Each structure stands twice: as structure tokens, then as C-alpha cells.
Structure 1
Amino acid sequence: MSGAELNRRALLWSAAAAACVPAASLARQAAPVTAAPAGVFEGTRDGDVHAYRGIRYGRAERFRAPVAVARPGERVRAREFGPVCPQRGARYLPQSEDCLFLNIWAPADAAAAPRPVLVYFHGGAYSTGSVTDPLNDGAVLARETGAVVVTVNHRLNAFGYLYLARLDPRFRDSGNAGQLDLILALKWIRDNIAAFGGDPACVTPFGQSGGGAKIATLMGMPAARGLFHRAMTMSGQQVTASGPLNATERTRAYLARLGVAEGDFDALLAAPSEALVEALDAVDPILGGGVYFGPVLDMQWLVRHPFWPDAHPQSNHIPMILGNTHDETRAFIGPDSAVMQGLDWGNIAERLGPQLRVDILPEWVVAQYRQRFPQDGPRELFWRATTAARSWRGQVEEADARARAGAEATWVYQLDFPSQTEPERGAFHTHDIPLVFGTLGAEGSQTGTGAAARRVSREMMTAFAQFARTGRAPWRRYTLPDRPTMIFDTRSRVEQDPRQWERELFARVPYVQPGT
């Protein structure tokens, strides 16, 4: 489907959603109250959208599986975001281990047919982030598409993924506790979302970066079976999980940094959350750098890798969209970063090698790229090669694995539309978040609010909503060997295998999921 057709559908959809309820009538109505099995929730009104913030879906003791929370018949204020998981930095406040809260935006027309449910899991790898970020506000997406939008916070870093099971059997769930939080949230949605106008049989998780990786992992977790019906990942893949031996070594390094003896779990449980956050700068004994946290192949909750040696048969029937941006690593490797200072043809190979995240001869990579892209300077080549090697590779592995397995339906997109406020950043990692949510003017967005950005945003919202409703994206399915890919840009179009040369170049070496 062409970009023009996507845009036409977006305009029709937007007009239909806006026409559901007269604005003047809505303005006179009181704040919304919704009775659901888990409680009677008092929300707020944003024009023709009802918002419910800070709904508790569970509680959890430290390093243990969460338990559901319900307050049937009890009136619950749902007007403010709940706390976020403790993490480094003060970008998201307040922070608390008691962080199992979700938020709902629902069109006000309760008489409409049950609506598709879009469930967002945030990025930040498995260690940081929150859906309280203004870029993740669900009001515009719900208003423009008529979907019910849910965003979910859960446990992160050591609180959600510190693997203790091999050191103490009391903590058998610890390495995947953050994933179990998301499963519990999906169960809450299954049991309650109909009261908000959502269809519990039409639930689509979508997530950017770490959020997409969490979804890819859920597609390989038996406990998540049947809880969602489509899936969309945005620059986030999880081909393999962390092995239990490496995860245990990382736990030992973390405990040493925390100052807790390996067998002194009473001290670990008693340590203040601030101390657990401070110790997150422990050095990773496998990779170096900060210690990695993520899902663990614990043979209990996760008994095989999500996409290795093939796509998990459990989820091949689930329609899936996989996306990436054209210039992913311009978000991680800024023009003023240390690796870019003084970068030239004499030192580029030495600096490029560690950033590729695969074991390949960097001098050869530089020579190949210089021949293929003679117009690139050292910085442009650096960003281009690192994006292909470390950011696109996992998505290619997953999409190809589904295609080889004959999965029911797979679609791939690439965002080429560049930043309109900092053009030198191109279409960087996270750039698709405000386009999909319609939060173009929110703090942190670099899309700009001009006509081109609005058009691309409408196209992406329309495509995501159509997929959530029907299980079909409005462009050609991803099949081998042609690999059709939707390019979202000022002129959106479908291209066949747009990454072919770089895909084939890096396919010479085995892919290893970073951190695992």
C-alpha cells in the first residue's frame, strides 16, 4: 500500500473518531467512573478521551513473582501516575519498588463496538525507563484511532532481573520477575479491559527498544500463551536470552559491588532500594561495562530462546510487525561523544570495532563501506556500519526466522523520516515513539510539528491501529527472499530488501544477542 493510501485512511479514521461524541456535550459531563471486576475506577477526561492513571495491577515481594491485586466494588482514584521502578538518574519520579501500575486511555463512546487494545511496554533496555514519559501519553493515539491504549510499568534492573535461583532456591522466579510483571498486567487486561470498551480477544502489545525485546521474550514464554493476539516491536529484539551461568556470574559481580556476601540473602533483602540502585554500576564480568540485566533461560519460565535456533513455535500463529529506524546508533553515539572526537580515517577501524558488537575485522568493514558509500565521511560511515551491525541484525534474524517457519503473518517497516529539529541525528533510535503516539510536540520529541511530521505520524498510527484491529498491516507481508519493507518517510513506499548489501555483509559472522 502506498503512503498516499495510508494517509487517506488516516484522515478518514481521524474524522470518524472525532465524530463519535459531540465535544460540547462531553465538556459538560463529569469525570468518568468505570466499574470493572478489579474495582470502580475514577479517571479524568481529556476531551473525548477518558484517562485512568496509576491503576495497580499487582504487588511483589523483592525478587519474587508478583501477585494480582483486585478491589472489587471499591472506589479507586485513578487520576495520577503511580511510582516507577527505582533506577539510575532522576528523570522519572517518584520511584518505588512498589511500581506495578498501568494506565488506560479509552475513547468516551462506550456504546461503540469493543475496541482493539494497544498495550505499550517502554524501552530503556531492562534497566531504565517509564511509561510516564510524555512521549508515551496515550490520549492522541486513542483519539485518532479509536483504540483503547494501555501503558505498563514493571520492575527493572536488579529488582526485575537479578538471577538468584542458582544461589538460593527461594528466589526461583528472580531472573524473570520483570517479565512476570508484564504477564500479570496482561492478565489484568484480559479480565478488566472490557469495562473500558476494549476487546479482551484483540490485545496487541507494542514496545520500543527494550519494550520490543520484552515482547519478543514473551512470545517464547509459555505463561504468556493466549494473553495477546498480535505483536509489534519497534527497534527491539530478543533473539536469545541470558544463559543461567553468565547470569549467575553477573549476580556475583553485582553482590560484590553491593557489599553483600554471596550467602547473606537476609542482608540483600534488607538493603534499601537506593543501595541496590547505586550498585547497578557494577562491572559486567562477561562483557565489561555496566552489568547487564535481562531475561534468563532459567528452564522454568523461559525454557528455550525466543528466536533461536528458530522462531518459537508457540507464537508463530501470532501476526507480528517488526520495525527499526534508519539511523539507530545516532541516538547512542552523539556527534560530541568521545568516540567521535577526532575521528578520522586513520583511527576509525580501532574505534569502530568495539561498537559493532560482532566479532568481525573492522579494517575490512571500513574498506567495504568506503567502497560502497564513497560519499560518506568517517562519522557517516561510523553511524551507518554500527546501525547495521548492532541494531538491525536482531530484527533481520527474527523476521527471517518467522518467514522460514511459515509464520502466519509478518510485516517489517523502517523509519527513514529524519529529525526535523536536529537533522544531523537522522532517524535515530526512539524517533518513532512520538510518531506512533502522535505526541509530536511533547518534551523529548525531535520530529517537529510541521505538515510532514503530522503526515508520517498519521500514517504510522493508522497502520498500527489497522494491524491491531485486523491482524494485517497495510503493506505486503515479509517473505523470503524479497523481504518487502515499508519505508515510512516524507514519501512512504514499500521497498524490497532495502538493507540487502549490509545484511549480507554482516551475515558472514554469527549473531550473538548483546548481553547474553
Structure 2
Amino acid sequence: MIASLTRLTLVAAYLAAAVASASPVSRRQSQEPSPPSSPGLVKDAPSANELKGVHLLLENDLDSSTPKHPVIFLAEPRSYKESQRVCDTLGEDLLGSDNINFVKGLLNTTPIAVNDVKKVSRLWVKGASLNSCTAFDRTSGHTLHLPCSTKLPALCANSLPRTQIGLKVHTDRSKQIKVKTPAAGTLQGYRDQNQFRFLGISYALPPVGRRRFLPPQKIIVSESEKDEAKDATKFGFVCMQGAYEGDAKPNATYELFSLGAPESEDCLHLNVFTPSLSGKNKEKGDRLPVMVYVHGGGFTSFSGSSPTFEPGNLVSRGGVVVVTLNYRLGIFGFFENPPSIPRSKAAGSLAIRDQIAALQWVQDNIVAFGGDPDQVTIFGESAGGYSMRALLSIPSAFGLYRNVISQSDLLGIPFSSPKTAKDIGAGLLKYLGCSPSDLACAQSKTDTQIRHAEHNSTTDVVLAPGNEWLMTAGGVYRPTIEGDLFPGDFADLVSTGHYNREANILWGSTRDEFALFLPYVFPEPIPLDQKDEILAKYLLEDRTKILFTSPFYALNESDPDTIRNELSRAVTDLLWTCATQRLSRGTAAQLSKVYTYRFDHGRDIYSTFGEPLSPFCRGRVCHADDVIPSFGSGDIKEGSIQTGSDARFARQVIDRFTTFAKTGNPNPPKQGAAFLGLASQNKDVTGVAWPAYDRSSDKVFVFEEEKSHVEVGEDTERCQWIEKHVRYDYQVHSPNGKFVPTFP
């Protein structure tokens, strides 16, 4: 980095860059009212198992300006009176017969409860007289009158709105329902317009006290406890966030808009969002695909409850079960100090071990929420994308998922070396006043003491000679190659075929990834006559200087900001675009099914939350601009909207991603696509074939606002130049200290 940066400024820059899509809400804002609290458990909430199939249906165009017509579909045939009673237990009435003009189309397009729906020709709706009751005939689209004792499925109203956040928003959590799981006991959540929501579920014992810095430990629920309902109506604590600069502390506004809940070490929670509770007797073919999201934030920030990752639109449009999770961050998730403390006591890479524990919880329990444990897709952005790479590398995780969506992983950056991780851990113990081997001492300290010591230790490591490159690596916290959990760096594993070759992979980046980070490093334009001096220390081995010898990053002397503009392009290629191309070639050579993409359109998180966009990102598609379209969460904040082209683009992204989650292929099949729902009717999706990666032609799918397309070989020449003249960080900073050749 720039030599004149002070110690504090350097670490602040490190933290800002590591956060990736850093919180748009300042931690220094004044104290505001706390977020709405849970009303507690509603007595006599209905049981999903007893209802034998209750599904939330919505023809969701993701446009917040269009009318929505959500309904509840009761799949079990009942008499009219029994159907009305079930609606009552859900806090609703049978669907009014004057509101059914949309139902025929909905039943023909929903990807939810497809097998139950296709068996149905008539359903109870509201309307009864002395001798007959009203049913809807889906064939004719009209109502008719039948004896009230006839047993039919039914449609209930769903009067609840979509979940939003805001200081004035009141979330109705009173429409509750219970689910009994195989291993986690009975959980009582609630529903909104789009989904059933089960929040704050513990997937491991609290990692506090003597469990701090240890691998996650499974919760054992006794038989006597399995029928006692646990509150799943509010988010659990989120994991400890990165060290704060100065005296800044999080407040209620920050927690609400950025994290979704207060932070604590007791944070190993996950959240389940499902449109379908099928009951315990449903066959495998009736279960929904599961998408498990691992959040980004540089392994130092954010949580599974961050509002940006609100999955209601993804769930209801895609017809999938979504799981979001917390995992330990910073030193809490990456502490180790071998050999002074053996790995049998402090194993390291705890963040990834937490993710594996959460995925195991999904395997054990997701059937109870309508999900298919054999059809799990893991996905994540930034550090979440890096986590996808980690999970592709760990043999013990291979059986926990089938498909992988990795967004904006810095594939040019390797996993961490044992030395870097050890130096941070040893420094933590030093600043805590503990001996190098005294784990119990570190476990006895307060979380505030840990964070202060972490701040000092990471500062030392970043400023140590030879570690300057860590600043361009997106942070010092990364999984460690220790030979046990991780058998090697991903690039090594790809070259030898020792990664999860059976997984279907979809990965890529945004067009201008590095433009988000560059102003943290170079806040002002760089004068041409100072170029060599200022850039010399940015990438070691003179790689910055070498980049500017390329004809592909030629400087324009009439542009006063030409150096930063070209540097943004060059580093985006080096760390994202070309590294993805190279590893796509490698995985394709190993016969993996791989799909690559680039986002040339997106929506920035900052303006969505009412904060100013970084000037350098104006007109660019920066890091994290793909997150909101991936969830369709552009209207999550009170007063925000998602309309027109924003809604259209989100439909395209969600339809591609959920199709991939269902089939391992982002293209809807031409036959038998009923379970894909609206995706099979989206011309933005069906009109463009997305080919699997071909190592001989470098095919990339380009997400555009309207006319997405496939590029063939557009990046090849630039990337070949980089590979020949510059080299990737996983080559020059390999964790095992050896140069990794490009391949194949």
C-alpha cells in the first residue's frame, strides 16, 4: 500500500475493503428505536404435520408496483366446513369467490406443490348456502355449487404483506405455525405474503466460554424436548463484526438495516424460508430444491439476517426453500496458533467448519420444511463466494450439496498459509496477555478484549514486511491450508482433480468489481508523473507496473483519472475475470459441468438504502451490485421500490439461478418444465441459451438489463497476456510456497 498511510488508516482501509459491500448505514448514527420485537409464541398455533399440506402460492413478478394476489393452498381434501376451520386456524378466511379471476393462471404456473396442484380440478372457495357450498373449477375458470360434504382441496386468503424493514414498519408475526423436525425439535415460526419464516434456529451449541475457538458442537435434543415448541419468530444474534474504528459502536439503526439483529458470540443460528409445508408423509418427488446462502463481508462483517439477503421474492417466484446462516467472523472464526496450541484443541478455519455444520443441519432437518436434502444448492457472494470455493475443496463437505453458485469470488487469491493464520493467532494471545499455549486464558477474556487484541494483531500482520499483498487479497482472514480439513489450495486441487468434480458449478463476477475498492486505496486521481512511485507498492513483484505495459490497459493522457480507470479494469481482470477463465478451463478439463457469467447490469446496495453511491462506481457495475437482483430484494426497505427494469432484471437472475438449483443447468428444459413455474415463460431466459463452459472457446454468459447474450473469446487475449506477463496471486503467493503453473 501507499507508504504514507498511517497505521490506523491502513487498518481502516483494510477493514473497508474486506467488508466488500460494506454497510451503507453509518455506525455513528444517533441511537434510534430498537427493531420490532417478537410477540412471543401464539398459543395453539397449528401444526404443519396435522394440516397435511399447506402451501403459499403467488404469481410473483417481483414488481412492487403491481397488485399481488397471494393465496394459501390446502392440499388435503376436506369438507367445506373443515376447510373453513383450517383457514381459521391460519388466521384467514376461505378465498372470496369475487377474487378468483387470477387463480386459474396461478394454478397453471406455480412451481410450488406441483404434484398436489396438478391433481386438483376443483377447490373450495368462500360461499355457502343452506344446501350447497362454492367451489372453483380450474378447467372452466368459473365457480359452481356442490354439496358441502364433498371433500376437496381449498384456497384460503393470505392477507399479509411482504416483509419489509424500517423504523416505522410493524411486522405481523402473529400468523404462526409449528413444524416438528427430526433432530431439532419443534420450531414455531410465522408467515408473510411470500413464505413461512423460521428464524434464529440454533444449529450448534453457543461457541462461548470454553467452546470459544473450538469447532461447532452439535445440539442433541432429547425425546422429551422434541414436542416443546421453540420460538422461531425472530432472528438470533449475529456473529461479532469486525473491529470498530475508534469508539464507534453499533446502534439500533445499524443493527436493523445492516445486520438484522444485535451481535453476540452466541451466534450460530440459521433461518429457513419456505413456501411449502407438506406434512411428514410427502414423497421425495414433492419436495422442493433447497438453496443455502453463505453471506459475504470479507469474513469480518454481515450476517444471514442482513436485510439485503431477504429471500421472500426468491422463495415465492422460484419455488425453492432458502436457508441463510451466520458463521463466526474475524478472529472468532479463524483463530489458531499451532504448534503451541495443537489443532486438536484449536482446529482453525472455524468459519468454514460452522458452514459445514449448518449444511449438516439442513441434511438432518430440511425435509420437515418441504425441502429435498438431495437437491441442495449452496451459493454466496464475495467472501460467500470464497466459501463456495472452500466447500468445493473439502472432501467431508462433498455429500452436503449438489450445485454451487459462486458470485464474485476473488479466484486469483489463494487460501491462507498456515504462517499468516498463526501470526494473527499468536499476536492475539500476546495482546491479551496470554502465553502462546494458553487457550483457556483466551477463552476467559471478554469479547471486547478479544476485539481490541484482534485489531492490534491484524494491524501487525498487515504491516509486516512481505505482507503488503494481503491488502489486495481482500483481507487477512481466509481459510487455512492445514492438510486436514483442506487438503490443498483450490488451484492445486483443480490441477489434480481432487476437488468436488461431481458438483455443477455456476460462477462469475461483475464487470467492474475492483471499482468499489479502489477509492479506499487511492481516494484521489493519480497524477501521471507520479504513477510509478505511487503504484510501485500496490502489487508486489512490480506487477502493477507490468500491467501498465499491456496494450489492453493503455493510458489516455486526456483523461485526468486515467490511471485509476485503467487500474480498475486491470485488477478486475487479474483477480476476477481472468482467474475465473483460467479455473473454468481447469475444471472443464476435469469434466466438471461449469457455467460462467458476467453481470453488465446490477443494482447498488447503497442507493437502495438511501446512501450516496461511491462516485467512482457511477456508470459501473461494481462489486456486490449483483446481490439485490439475486434476491429480488430491491424493495426490502420501507419506501424503496423495485419496478420496471429493476424488476425485470431481478426476474431474469432469479429464474436462471433457481432453474440451476432445480436442474444443475441454468436453461429451462423445453419439456416437462411445470416445476419451473414462471421461469419457463420468461422470454429473457428462454430466448438465450446459456452454454456450458468449453475450455476451447471461453464462453461467458453476460447478464444485461434487457438483451443478455453469450460472449465467445472476448476476454481470451487479455487473459493470456496476464497469464504470460503478470501471474495470479495463487501462483506467486501459494500457501505451500511453491509456484503453481497455469493449466491445463
Q: TM-score, normalised by structure 1?
A: 0.88
Task: Write the letter of the residue equivalent to 1:264.
Answer: D
Q: Quick check: 1:101 aligned with 2:308? A: no
Matches of 2:217 and 2:621, distance apart in 1: 40
- Render the CA deviation track for 1:45-77: whole Å, top value 9, x for unaligned: 111410111011002311111111243333111
Show the counterpart of 1:240.
414
Show the counterpart of 2:654.
461
Between 140-149 and 349-358, the greater mean CA deviation after superposition = 349-358
- Render the CA deviation track for 1:383-412: whole Å, top value 9, x for unaligned: 2122112333442333222012222x1000
Show the counterpart of 2:140.
none
State the 1:9 CA deviation.
11
Show the counterpart of 1:17.
110
State the 1:186 CA deviation.
0.6
Contact 1:419 1:425 (C-alpha < 8 Å) held by counterparts: no
SS at 2:571's partner residue? helix
Show the counterpart of 1:123.
296
Between 360-369 and 339-348, the greater mean CA deviation after superposition = 360-369
Matches of 2:541 and 2:600, distance apart in 1: 24
State the 1:248 CA deviation.
1.8
**1:171-250, aligned counterparts within 5 Å?**
171-237=344-410, 240-250=414-424
The change in CA–CA distance for 1:309 and 1:382 in structure 2 (over 3 A counts) is: same
SS at 1:439's partner residue? coil
- Render the CA deviation track for 1:258-302: whole Å, top value 9, x for unaligned: 443323333211111112122333322352477712211112211
- Render the CA deviation track for 1:468-494: whole Å, top value 9, x for unaligned: 000112210011121111100122111
State the 1:361 CA deviation.
4.8
SS at 1:58's partner residue? coil
Identity of aligned residues (%): 25
Show the counterpart of 1:5.
none
Show the counterpart of 2:522.
339
- Render the CA deviation track for 1:10-60: whole Å, top value 9, x for unaligned: 999998338879985234994221111111111111114101110110023
Q: 2:586 aligns with which of 379, 383, 401?
A: 401
Matches of 2:228 and 2:538, distance apart in 1: 53
Show the counterpart of 1:512.
729
Show the counterpart of 2:599.
415
Show the counterpart of 1:482.
697
Q: Quick check: 1:300 aligned with 2:300? A: no
State the 1:365 CA deviation.
1.6
Between 457-466 and 8-17, the greater mean CA deviation after superposition = 8-17
Show the counterpart of 1:4.
none
Show the counterpart of 2:241.
87
Q: Quick check: 1:429 aligned with 2:644? A: no
Q: 1:322 aligns with which of 507, 526, 537?
A: 507
The change in CA–CA distance for 1:102 and 1:454 in structure 2 (over 3 A counts) is: same
Task: Write the letter of the residue equivalent to 2:268.
Answer: L
Matches of 2:393 and 2:541, distance apart in 1: 24
The change in CA–CA distance for 1:48 and 1:265 in structure 2 (over 3 A counts) is: closer
Matches of 1:301 and 1:191, distance apart in 2: 22
Matches of 1:159 and 1:170, distance apart in 2: 15
How many matched pairs? Answer: 505
State the 1:340 CA deviation.
3.5
- Render the CA deviation track for 1:134-161: whole Å, top value 9, x for unaligned: 1101111101100000001011111111
The change in CA–CA distance for 1:100 and 1:109 in structure 2 (over 3 A counts) is: closer
The change in CA–CA distance for 1:451 and 1:187 in structure 2 (over 3 A counts) is: same
The change in CA–CA distance for 1:348 and 1:189 in structure 2 (over 3 A counts) is: same
SS at 1:434's partner residue? helix
SS at 1:241's partner residue? coil
SS at 2:368's partner residue? helix
Q: Quick check: 1:472 aligned with 2:665? A: yes
SS at 1:346's partner residue? helix
Note the aligned Cα RMSD (angstroms): 3.2
Q: 2:715 aligns with which of 493, 499, 507?
A: 499
Q: 2:644 aligns with which of 444, 451, 455?
A: 451
Contact 2:629 2:653 (C-alpha < 8 Å) held by counterparts: yes
- Render the CA deviation track for 1:156-203: whole Å, top value 9, x for unaligned: 111111122322126545312211111111111011101101011000
Contact 1:55 1:102 (C-alpha < 8 Å) held by counterparts: yes
State the 1:504 CA deviation.
2.0
Show the counterpart of 1:74.
228
Q: 2:449 aligns with which of 275, 279, 284?
A: 275
Task: Write the letter of the residue equivalent to 2:572.
Answer: T
Show the counterpart of 1:438.
632
Show the counterpart of 1:142.
315
Contact 1:411 1:476 (C-alpha < 8 Å) held by counterparts: yes
Q: TM-score, normalised by structure 2?
A: 0.63
